[in-house]
Homo-oligomer: A and B are copies of this chain.
Amino acid sequence: MSEDTLGGVDGLRDRTRRAVRADLAERAMVLFRERGFDETTVDDIARAAGMSKRSFFRYFATKEDAVLGLVDELGERVVEDIRARPADEPPWECLRQVLRQSEERIRTSADALRLIESTPALRAAHHGKRDQTRALIATALRDRPGSTLAPFAADLLATAAGAALDAAAREWLRTGGTADRAHLLDQAFAALRPKLA
């Protein structure tokens, strides 16, 4: 188990695991689209992928994660991205840039977002992940060199940014997925720009 006992430098184990995860997520999405989230059991998904229910839970902690798994991995990157921005950039502009990058990485199809938006259990799980990220973002903002942000201010900034992201996503859905996501996000950020005392 000395890290390179197997195949490639990248770790063969990790790659196959990733592949199985992706396959599982894809098959799950097909079933969810066909029959709806609540009407699809974990056993259905597992059987469709040729494995047992137990094994499904070795790849995803919850049923919701089969949909949200990829989405919230982006959240972890956001924190790194913040640290990578120039230190003298105003916090709000920093958040806008970072979230634009994040949006571009998202290649989530409209109906995946629609599924999330229309399924209470998925919306709840999504919000949960987002909440964790928000807390991380707030501390990341305060940790920037030269930052004088109070906890309240940092929290408010991170929360407002999340609000902008949410409202933009919903507007995008309202347009049937035709509008420019980045433009909507800019509009929301421009409208909200906080005035910190």
With beta carbons under 8 angstroms apart, the residue of B124, B160, B184 that contacts A128 is: B124
Q: Which of A37-45, A72-80, A162-170 contacts B (4 or more CB under 8 A)?
A: A162-170
Q: Are B174 and A151 in contact (CB under 8 A)?
A: yes
Query: What residues of B have a CB within 8 angstroms of the CB of A153 in the complex?
Result: 191
**A98 in the interface, Cβ–Cβ < 8 Å?**
no
Q: How large is the interface on A (under 10, 10 to 19, 20 to 34, 35 or more residues)?
A: 20 to 34
Q: Please measure, in the bound complex, the distance between the C-alpha atom of A101 and the C-alpha atom of B172, giving whole angstroms.
A: 33
Chain B residue nearest to A153 in the complex (CB): B191
Query: What residues of B have a CB within 8 angstroms of the CB of A166 in the complex?
Result: 159
Q: Are A192 and B194 in contact (CB under 8 A)?
A: yes
- Contact residues of A between 142 and 196, Cβ < 8 Å to B: 151-153, 155-156, 159-160, 162-164, 166-167, 170-171, 174, 184, 187-188, 190-196
Q: Are A163 and B159 in contact (CB under 8 A)?
A: yes
CB distance from A177 to the nearest CB of B (A): 15
